Amino acid sequence: MDELKNLNPDKKFISWQTLFLMALCTVIGLDDIMYNFQNQGMAVIFSWIVMVLFYVIPYSLMVGQLGSVFSTEGGGLSSWVRGTDGEFLGYFTAWTYWAASIPYAVDSANEVIVDLGWALTGSEKFQDQIPNSLFALLTFVTFIVFIIVEHHFSNSMEFLSTIGGGLMVIMTILFVVLAFVGLAKSDGHMATTNFTWRDIFPKFDWHYFSTIAMLIYAMNGAELVAPYVTKMKKPQYDFPKAMIALAAMTAFLTIFGSFALGIYFNANHLPNDLKMNGAYYAFKMIGHQYGWGNFLLYFWAWTSFFFNCALLAVLLDAMTRMLISDTGSRYMPKFLRKKDKNGLPINGYILTVALSSFIMILGIFLPNMNDIFNWLLNLNAIVSPGVTCWIFYSFMRIRKDSKKFPSKYVFIKNDKIAYAVGLTLLLVTAIATIMGITPQDVPEGSNIWWYELIINIVAVIVLIGLGAILPGIRHREIEYGIAFDKVQWISMIAIIMGSIIFGIYLGGLKHLSGRGIYIAVEGILSLLIVWLIGRRKPNLANGFKAEED
């Protein structure tokens, strides 16, 4: 308890109600409900019920115990793994958590553009006028702008994210309430015709199981509020209260929100752009139903715009700072830890923007803006649940040796049962992550389907694989003083970028049979050449200034 007081010297405690609202903003929103409604239709109601009961509740309570065990470290995900398995795995957890934020940041930047288009025009037609290249350029410019904004207005961005998150929750609740009132006003008329309660039961096929990852992606995020366990007066009691309240509100919003969507959209014939524009269509229909015109549409557009602006700024800054500071000097190369005169990890920012640009390049050859948007969501549903696996792994580790990891709050008293529950959720999440790599929203087996499958695999390999390479780069810095000289850096980057572009080109050749094999072969050859270049001793007199101390 003394250590808790040291972490909170001002004794400013937060209530479990406040923590519940903070967690709700990070876990669920109308967009999350919309994404999964397009994937599963009315059957998603069954999925939400099962997920809340058998996933969200135990997941949230596991987070509560982990936050309590490692409360003196603030309860961060990487600190949990570091506390159970040492520095390297803690570093790799931090890296994968950061890597998972890259597609999320790109997706948020895309949403900023979509939000602004709706806010200014009140229509989706502007999307047809934006070519993919311009969409990618606008996304890149958005990154640069918000790195600058976050640097100069960080406090206002944090305040704006709180306001935007709160408005998001309010608008989601408002949508559910207005939809059911509207259903009563229309004498029970629904866009989903011939609906019966049998329709909520899904067809358990490959498509259904491949969309489970998107459900997990929509419902994870509770670990983000775990550090605040140190600011609660009685964390052993208040944290589980907040998590149970979170599960209850999540159930309400997802179940009734999905049914509400069935009121305005025919679940059997959904528009292809529902994930990108569905919320706007919904508020437009509700506004007209109540005689309010497009007021709700514009209010949602600006709410979503400001929220995504703040979210993007926080992601670009906070996640980069977390990665650089949390991993320390043992595994993180010094050129990434280098800070400018304002204390900003400038090279870390460059890496963030570079990998974000890489993700944008992968999607730029998709047919249109909607396909890019949907593909990014699919990618998020792969990497985000994959990171969630660390939570269940850490929980299993502390329950395997519960005497070594005492906690004032314990989820399931019996260690063996608790371990089995953690293992079950770990396996479910891992399997869903692997199956989630299957492209969604495009015809199975089509050229676009194969293209998206290839870039999904490439994106995951690059994002996760780079984290495994960085400790080796740091080792070279310790051994030689610099990791690589200018010629090595330029050659390796050129080969990697050339390989990616050539692989994308091969993936777009519709009439080339066995192109997946060709892509794999050229990728392996490129990596081999990069390894041969990178393994030689660098020329110390020809290094980049960025690598200097």
Residue 517 lies in a domain: no
Instruction: Annotate 373-394 with b (16+ C-beta within 10 A) or e (fewer).
Output: bbbbbbbbbbbbbbbbbbbbbb
Instruction: Annotate 511-520 with b (16+ C-beta within 10 A) or e (fewer).
Output: eeeebeebbe
The 10s digit of each residue's pLDDT in 301-344 is: 998 888 787 777 767 766 666 666 656 567 888 777 777 666 66
Q: Which residue has the tokens 């206002």?
A: 156
**Is 232 a residue whose pLDDT tops 80?**
no
**Is 90 a residue whose pLDDT tops 70?**
yes
Q: For the chain, how many structural domains are there in total?
A: 1
Q: Which of 383, 386, 544, 419 is nearest to 477 (CA)?
A: 544
The rounded distance, in Å, linking the Cα atoms of 321 and 339 is: 10
Six token digits for residue 459: 């994106």
Please enumerate in sequence order all residues whose Cβ is within 8 A of that of 274, keeping only pairs 6 or more positions apart, or say none: 34, 37, 38, 265, 281
pLDDT band at 211 (very low <50, low <70, confident <90, very high): very high
Helix, strand, coil shares, percent, the chain, to 5: 80, 0, 20
The rounded distance, in Å, linking the Cα atoms of 38 and 498 is: 36
What pTM, to 2 d.p., does this model score?
0.83
What residue ranges in 14-134 does DSSP mark as E strands? none
In the prediction, which pLDDT does 1 show? 41
In the prediction, which pLDDT does 38 show? 93
Low-confidence winner among 160-164, 217-221, 241-245, 460-464 (lowest mean pLDDT): 160-164
Q: Which of 111, 137, 29 is nearest to 376 (CA)?
A: 111
The rounded distance, in Å, linking the Cα atoms of 150 and 316 is: 8
Who wins on pLDDT, 473 or 548? 473
**Is 277 a residue whose pLDDT tops 80?**
yes
The rounded distance, in Å, linking the Cα atoms of 23 and 226 is: 9
In the prediction, which pLDDT does 333 show? 83
Who wins on pLDDT, 173 or 7? 173
Please enumerate in sequence order all residues whose Cβ is within 8 A of that of 455, keeping only pairs 6 or more positions apart, or say none: 362, 363, 375, 504, 507
pLDDT band at 87 (very low <50, low <70, confident <90, very high): confident
How far, in Å, are 93, 372, 386 from residue 100 at the CA level?
A: 11, 17, 8
In the prediction, which pLDDT does 23 show? 77
Cite the DSSP H helix spans in 153-197: 154-185
Residue 532 lies in a domain: no
Residue 54 lies in a domain: yes
The rounded distance, in Å, linking the Cα atoms of 532 and 549 is: 27
Low-confidence winner among 93-107, 197-211, 336-350, 357-371 (lowest mean pLDDT): 336-350
- The enclosing H or E element of 358 equals helix 346-363
Tell me the range of 6-20, 148-162, 168-182, 342-356 where mean pLDDT is highest.
168-182
The rounded distance, in Å, linking the Cα atoms of 507 and 501 is: 10
The rounded distance, in Å, linking the Cα atoms of 189 and 211 is: 29
Residue 490 lies in a domain: no
The rounded distance, in Å, linking the Cα atoms of 149 and 161 is: 13
Residue 150 lies in a domain: yes
How high is the mean pLDDT of the chain? 83
End-to-end CA distance of the chain: 40
Tell me the range of 236-250, 427-441, 449-463 where mean pLDDT is highest.
427-441
For the residues of 247-307, what is the DSSP string, one character each?
HHHHHHHHHHHHHHHHHHS-TTS--TTHHHHHHHHHHHHHHHHTT-TTHHHHHHHHHHHHH
Q: Which residue has the tokens 């944090």?
A: 158
Residue 241 lies in a domain: yes
In the prediction, which pLDDT does 520 show? 77
- Phi–psi pair at 408, nearest 5 degrees: -75, -25
**Is 396 a residue whose pLDDT tops 90?**
yes
Domain at 346, CATH number: 1.20.1740.10
> Mean per-residue pLDDT for 192-221?
87
**Is 5 a residue whose pLDDT tops 80?**
no
Residue 539 lies in a domain: no
In the prediction, which pLDDT does 3 show? 41
Structural domain for 453, as ranges: 14-483
